[in-house]
Structure 1
Amino acid sequence: MKKAMKLSVLSAFCAATLLVSCGKDKPLTSQSNETSVTKDGNVYELDTLNSRIEWKGFMVLKSENSSHFGTIKFESGDVTVKDGKLESGKFVADMNTLTSVDLKDDAENLNKLNGHLKSGDFFETDKFPTASYEITKVTPNTQGDYNTLLDGNLTLKGITKPVQFNANVSVKEDEISISTEPKDIMREDYGVKFQMPIENGVIKDEVNLQISIKALEKK
């Protein structure tokens, strides 16, 4: 019984803290930035094996605070480079690859949790199989630890909203890398309002998200 409750709490936590999926169809709602970028320049294709989303969520229990973390892989994406600088880009994540890394050594509960997260109770990955981020503006940043400010539209579970990231962008002859600063996303903004019974603790609204991109010039 305790084991079942523990898995249920983990399911609730991860479901409420993971980035939710978005469908390939038109978003259900949209509040997006207008784009100021173009597709002019050299095209770089996403290296899906070396690109990923990392997420971390937080839960406050009666006796302790805890966190869980995991990854989501990308399905596709491309970046445009103009005059040696990042011009634009769009990245599509495969929500069926979402997983909780901290449960990687517990195969039974990991499989149960991941299956539950992909079901109709949570992310409905059959209906919303992808999530995406599209860059709408690129601004050089001369202050702090990050050299670029990215404005873009984040679409999750059929909801599109503008999200800004600090990022380090490196452009080489045949490769570009983008690494964003970890950023808190409010899950309720994307319709993830699930909360477990108050006596079991509180799932925080903030989800920490970081995007790592590697793209290779299209030959």
Structure 2
Amino acid sequence: MDRNDRLAAWEKHAGPSLLAASLLFLLAYAVRVLKPGMSPAAQGFWAAVTALTWACFVAEYLARLALSPDRQRFVRTRWLDLLVVVLPLLRPLRLVEAHDRQRLRRRRPRLALEARVMVYAGLSALLLGFAAALAVLHEERPVPDSSIHTLGDAAWWAVAALTTTGYGDAAPVTPWGRTVGAGLMFMGVALVGAVVGTFSSWLVRRFRQEGEG
């Protein structure tokens, strides 16, 4: 078995565990943000879960890098994998991809290309918005001048940022909160644009087929 086969086998067997670790990471981070008044023991437990799942991401990336036949090409072409290791809050991007791979490996009926793009981009936008709302809430809640103090405030801000609506009634004021907001706006344009553009392309194709029929 050559390196390509070993890498493919590793990714196949590590997929379910990686998906579970991604979900557990989001759960642990959400609990730590949404329940700040937990006991020290509970805080320590969920912090340990967060650190452990993060360590799993690092170990899994390093294992795939070691198994890759061309490590420089792996780093260059799998840049998203490295990015989500450095910034775990971007993990939803890999979470949706991991779920999609598992579904395809089980040979379930495949959706049409347009539907897969819309589902992939839509779920990515939803999970990224949730993760960004948690991150901004964590940073903004202790700041008196901030307009984001509850999960509802953060969720409303995340929807406005993803769609680039920008109502202005809720906006981060801390440096890290604004950094998260800027990143979410750029990603929101790409993800929401992918959903709208793909749906529009599908409509045009259907109307053309009906016209030709």
Normalising by structure 1, report the TM-score: 0.25
Normalising by structure 2, report the TM-score: 0.26
Greater Rg over alpha carbons, structure: 2
Say which structure, 1 or 2, has more relative contact order (CA 8 Å, 6+ apart).
1
Higher fraction of strand: 1
Higher fraction of helix: 2
